[in-house]
Amino acid sequence: MSENVRVRFAPSPTGFLHIGGARTALFNWLYARQSNGVFILRIEDTDRERSTDEYIDAILQGMKWLGLECDEGPFRQTDRFDIYKKNVEKLLNEGKAYWCYCSPEELETNRKEAMKLGRALKYSGKCRDLKEPVPGVEPVVRFKMPLQGSTYVEDMVKGNVVFENEQLDDLIIQRSDGTPTYNLTVVVDDVDMGITHIIRGDDHLNNTPRQVQLYDALGFDMPKFAHLPMILGSDKARLSKRHGATSVMAYYDMGYLPEALVNYLVRLGWSYGDQEVFSKEELIKYFSFNNVGKAAAVFNPEKLLWLNQQYIINSSNERLAELVIPFLIKDGTIFENQHIDMTWLAKAVSTLKERSKTLVELATSLRYYLAEEVEFDEKARNKFLNENSRALLTELKDGLAAMDNFSEEEIEKLFKAIVERHEVKLGKLAQPVRVALTGGTQSPGIFEVIDVIGKDNTLKRLKKSIDSI
């Protein structure tokens, strides 16, 4: 690729990294990786009241978890006020912007008037040709939008979008306290940072003609634009907390793998034939704006859960063992810094991963391998640990105790011999054993379970159950 692609993710740190933001970051990241370009992170923190350092950290944490680390930045807009000021002055000096002294009350009256008449709110232009400052008023700076004609936005997703200039307001580029506003800072930064492609949610499409006019007025080259379709909830309303978790790190807490979320996010607006599961390498290779849809995407938590399960099944036991540790600690199954035999834990995981949709589920199931005491489901205990099973359980315990070569095959042989001798079905022995060892009636294959729990622990648990009958 000849052009040096430079893209950016520009979140406002007024909240956690959410699904929509993460999708924008991901598309930028993919495009950068695909083009051997540069991915820049810019924190748009000029709204000082709503921006916090905690949210900046949370955004960085979310991006790191998803593996979307930036090549340059994070830059903060609050460190860059000088450069915005210079550009505002340039526009003022060239007569492309003007001081506006209208009072908030006056503007409010205009707003109400526009509402009453059902018209789009538009500044009257009253201060455009003022010759003298108005004493005692801290003015704002407004940009002179062209009054006629059209502004064209060429968009890699939406195609050509035309805006009538008479609909565009003389926008405020500097507030009365001297701070710059979004449309100005974004243009100045994108130019200063050499951004070649602006990839963002289409909730910004309405800002784009204003920004295009600012590019023109400042004599800057235009970048390319790609506006991504909105993400909606199942009821077709804009995705919000009502539809479930929207913060990226909430998915960490719920036991999702980052690559499952990445895979899910990329499909919110992009497709590649019928393929659903993509490795990161495939995504980098196949990603293209030609396959980004114009229509809004619908967030489907069930599909995300399904994908997560696919990723769990296909992850190595060793990796899952590592990933599940924080969840085991959180559950109180193990304590922090407890020594765990990771080879053993990987083996335990191997018996459970097919039945775990999340790491939380995996951790819950691992409890019965790890906990000191079996936690019994009372109904299961009453049904299976009673006089009917006592003899079978005792025979099994003795057989296991005498076993030299403690392996799945030997355990299976022993089970078969016992049930044949008693002329009962395997379940007559397997279910009581399952309850004795795991506390409940559902677990992986009983031979595997015994193999994972190990000889000593199995004997201990069997004895305890037999004694309790």
Residue by residue, DSSP assigns 62-82 as HHHHHT---SEEEEEGGG-HH
As measured in angstroms, the least distance from the Cβ of 194 to ligand GLU is 15
Q: What are residue 104's phi and psi, to 5 degrees? A: -55, -35
Which tokens belong to 245?
């978790």
Q: Which of residues 137-156 bind ligand GLU (CB under 6 A)?
A: none
Q: Single out the residue of 7, 10, 140, 232 in contact with ligand GLU (rule: CB under 6 A).
A: 10
Answer yes or no: 241 catalytic: yes
Cβ atoms of 12 and 244 within 8 Å: the answer is no
Under rule CB under 6 A, residue 243 binds ligand GLU: no
Count helices and strands in the chain by DSSP H and E runs: 19, 12
The residue (of 193 and 304) whose beta carbon lies closer to ligand GLU is 193
Give, as ranges, the residues between 41 and 100 that touch ligand GLU (CB under 6 A). Answer: 44
Q: How far is CA 116 from CA 222, 262, 294, 328, 406, in A?
A: 38, 46, 34, 60, 84
By C-beta, is 7 or 257 nearer to ligand GLU?
7
Minimum CB–partner distance for residue 407 and ligand GLU (Å): 58
Give, as ranges, the residues between 414 and 453 that touch ligand GLU (CB under 6 A).
Answer: none
Catalytic residue, chosen from 126, 241, 379, 416, is 241
What does the alpha-carbon distance between residue 243 and residue 249 come to, in Å, rounded to a whole number? Answer: 16
Handedness of CA 109, 115, 117, 123 (dihedral sign): positive
207 vs 455: CA distance, rounded Å: 68
In the bound state with ligand GLU, the residue whose beta carbon lies nearer, of 12 and 34, is 12
By CB under 6 A, which span of 5-13, 68-76, 245-253, 265-273 interacts with ligand GLU? 5-13
Show contacts with ligand GLU in window 167-206 (CB under 6 A).
186, 200, 204
* 3-class state of residue 216 by DSSP: helix
Q: How is residue 220 annotated by DSSP?
A: P
11 binds ligand GLU (CB under 6 A): yes
Count of residues engaged in binding ligand GLU, rule: CB under 6 A: 7
Strands 224-228 and 159-164: unpaired
Decide: helix, strand or coil at residue 188.
helix
Range in contact with ligand GLU (rule: CB under 6 A) among 4-12, 107-115, 139-147, 429-437: 4-12
Which is closer to ligand GLU, CB of 210 or CB of 461? Answer: 210
- Phi, psi at 188, each rounded to 5°: -60, -45
The SS3 call for residue 408 is: helix
- Nearer Cβ to ligand GLU (158/200): 200
Q: How far is the CB of 164 from ligand GLU (least distance, A)?
A: 22
Nearer to ligand GLU, 158 or 381 (CB): 158
Helix (H) or strand (E) holding 41: strand 38-43
Pick out residues in 22-51 that bind ligand GLU (CB under 6 A).
44
Provide the annotated active-site residues: 241
For ligand GLU, the binding residues (CB under 6 A) are 10-12, 44, 186, 200, 204
